[in-house]
Structure 1
Amino acid sequence: TTRKVTVSSDGGNVWTEMHVKSPLEVGDRVIVASMNNGQAYVVLDRAITL
């Protein structure tokens, strides 16, 4: 799947395309880290139960 994303840096925002090999699906569980006092979140990985 190819998705358009915005990449932010000190020089401003840039639109680019990113190829995602295995996108998340509805119902997937993920591992998340919060940043900026809970104002932003980063998905670190998909959580798998064995």
Structure 2
Amino acid sequence: MAALAIILLIIGAVLLVFGLLVEAAKFLLWIGIVIIVVAIIAGLLRYIRRSS
């Protein structure tokens, strides 16, 4: 689960940067943001489950 969150975070960051650099690929910016949010939520759920 932790590896999945890290992979999603990396993919999201790459898509975010690529979406900012390429004006024609603005949808990649939104996909990157969504993937980063999903990765953060997955990390938070893992942290909450581990602490309880």
| TM-score after normalising by structure 1 | 0.18
Higher fraction of strand: 1
Higher fraction of helix: 2
Query: Which one has a bigger Cα radius of gyration?
Result: 1
The structure, 1 or 2, with the larger RCO (C-alpha pairs under 8 Å, 6+ apart) is: 2
